[in-house]
Structure 1
Amino acid sequence: MTDIKKNLKTIKDKLGDEITLVAVSKTKPNEDILEAYETGHRDFGENKIQEMTDKYEALPKDIRWHMIGHVQRNKVKYMAKYVHLIHAVDRLKLLKEINKRAKNEERVIQCLLQLKIAEEDSKFGLEKNDLLDILESDALKTYEHVKIVGLMGMATFTDDETQIHREFTQLENLYFDLKDKHNFTTLSMGMSGDYELALEHQNTMVRIGSKIFGKRDYDNW
């Protein structure tokens, strides 16, 4: 049986107070989330809007919900009233929709732009020039209900630590190049398999699931 409370403490001891831990609770039951919640943890990540919304409806309202998956524009409306941070924004049209739905809810929704740093074709994300184009676009300046608070990226799934460090360095360098100009506060990188490597790259947020909640069962998901 997975000891969620023990796992959380072990990871938080490694992270310290400066790094936000997003506990990735996708596919996990509400009971597991409540076990983590009872330790004082409040940041949870989901990658499907419907699942996240169902959990939002059922669980304590002081939970900060992070949307960590690829977002379809037609689903934004379902999370606009409550989502704390959208991690994986990779196109201007998506920001337009987020702004529209946030305006309807009289909110400002925080977002991260996702830089493609992995060599894997399966990973989403923006090329550097496209990311810069979004930040400098006239359209973004009119989106009063969206706030870009930083960058995120996912490294290649590999045992080659040199490659992972190289990819994290790319994200780290771009973040600090842009940080002051755009008032960035959040550099999100590192997951269960590579978060300890990410700690060497001045990240401020990690997304960890299986090392907290145990292996996922996707059979009924």
Structure 2
Amino acid sequence: MAQVAAASDTQVGTALKEVIQRVNHACKKAGRSAPPPRLVAVSKTKPVEMLQQAYDAGQRVFGENYVQELVDKVPQLPDDIQWHFIGHLQSNKAKVLVDGVPNLAMVETVDSVKLANKLNNALEQQSRPQLPVFVQVNTSGEETKYGVEPNECVDLARHIHQECSKLCFAGLMTIGQPDYSSRPENFECLSRCREDVCKALDVRPEDVELSMGMSGDFEQAVELGSTNIRVGSTIFGARDYSKQT
């Protein structure tokens, strides 16, 4: 869940502390009694020096979008970091991700049975423990977005829950609009998907996370029940897409 950042003179450390304060304020505004959401610092395209500054300020959960970039960063940073993979994952890269990131804590973007099976097989080959995963849902209906349709999330969640012994179905995830903001109805749609999944799998809502909210909309997402927010540019500054891998 959201960490309390230690004092830091770095720009990254200061920005991280401000984000945590905003999260806590949004929780208070919404009257949330549950713990604050987990803060995933989205560090794609950012140099390891900036990640280290966030780490030194108390951050332990980081999110990366590109497999090779993540694999390259892992050995350069502390091994107690909890890495979340939050980008589109091609099924043929599942083994590379699992093999290259021993401290992989979550894959948030499972969007097909094929990908779930590939991740499961890669984990079995390494005798790794269960890996928590989220099912990515396309709540906005945009053709450019990955994710299953809302009416397909139950089937994929059921497959992971029943057929993938090395995966732990942990929740649902959605991405905002092109400007990294989202409409309330997108978040409400994800909440309805959770209701459907909980009913189908006979699990409690509190055991199914909602990963929603990014730099442009995380406060609104917190108020609407997000348990996992992904904040990048607000902490690290604008992304440099020329460094995509």
What TM-score do you get using the length of structure 1 for normalisation? Answer: 0.90
Structure 2 unaligned residues grouped into runs of 5+? 1-9, 25-34
TM-aligned CA distance change 1:32 to 1:158, over 3 Å: closer
User: Is 1:111 aligned to 2:130, yes or no?
Assistant: no
Give the C-alpha shift of residue 173 in structure 1.
Answer: 2.2
CA-to-aligned-CA distance 1:168-198 (integer Å, 9 cap, x gap): 1111222244347245342100011111211
Structure-1 residue corresponding to 2:142: 120
User: Is 1:52 aligned to 2:70, yes or no?
Assistant: yes
CA-to-aligned-CA distance 1:30-60 (integer Å, 9 cap, x gap): 0000000001211000000110011112111
Does the Cα contact within 8 Å between 1:70 and 1:88 map onto a contact in 2? yes
Give the C-alpha shift of residue 129 in structure 1.
Answer: 2.5
Q: Write the distance in 2 (CA, Å) between the matches of 1:121 and 1:196.
A: 26
Structure-1 residue corresponding to 2:36: 18
CA-to-aligned-CA distance 1:5-26 (integer Å, 9 cap, x gap): 1111111112235210000000
Amino acid of the structure 2 residue aligned with 1:173 = R
Give the C-alpha shift of residue 75 in structure 1.
Answer: 1.0
Structure-2 residue corresponding to 1:173: 192
Give the C-alpha shift of residue 71 in structure 1.
Answer: 0.4
- Partner residue of 2:155 out of 133, 136, 152: 133
Q: Write the distance in 2 (CA, Å) between the matches of 1:72 and 1:24.
A: 19
Does the Cα contact within 8 Å between 1:22 and 1:207 map onto a contact in 2? yes
Q: Write the distance in 2 (CA, Å) between the matches of 1:105 and 1:83.
A: 13
Does the Cα contact within 8 Å between 2:212 and 2:230 map onto a contact in 1? yes
Does the Cα contact within 8 Å between 2:172 and 2:194 map onto a contact in 1? yes
Structure 1 unaligned residues grouped into runs of 5+? none
CA-to-aligned-CA distance 1:59-104 (integer Å, 9 cap, x gap): 1100001100000111111221331100111101111011101112
What TM-score do you get using the length of structure 2 for normalisation? Answer: 0.82
TM-aligned CA distance change 1:215 to 1:158, over 3 Å: closer
Does the Cα contact within 8 Å between 2:88 and 2:146 map onto a contact in 1? yes
Structure-2 residue corresponding to 1:34: 52
Q: Write the distance in 2 (CA, Å) between the matches of 1:85 and 1:63.
A: 12
TM-aligned CA distance change 1:90 to 1:203, over 3 Å: same
Does the Cα contact within 8 Å between 1:172 and 1:203 map onto a contact in 2? no
User: Is 1:148 aligned to 2:156, yes or no?
Assistant: no
Q: Write the distance in 2 (CA, Å) between the matches of 1:185 and 1:42.
A: 22
Amino acid of the structure 2 residue aligned with 1:197 = Q
Amino acid of the structure 2 residue aligned with 1:106 = S
Identity within the alignment, %: 36
Does the Cα contact within 8 Å between 2:154 and 2:197 map onto a contact in 1? no
Give the aligned length. Answer: 217
Give the C-alpha shift of residue 123 in structure 1.
Answer: 0.8
TM-aligned CA distance change 1:170 to 1:50, over 3 Å: same
Amino acid of the structure 2 residue aligned with 1:93 = K
Q: Write the distance in 2 (CA, Å) between the matches of 1:157 and 1:219.
A: 18
Please, what is the CA RMSD of the aligned residues?
Answer: 2.0
Structure-2 residue corresponding to 1:193: 216
Does the Cα contact within 8 Å between 1:158 and 1:164 map onto a contact in 2? no
Q: Which range moves more in the overlay, 143-152 or 182-191?
A: 182-191
Amino acid of the structure 2 residue aligned with 1:218 = Y
Does the Cα contact within 8 Å between 1:150 and 1:179 map onto a contact in 2? no
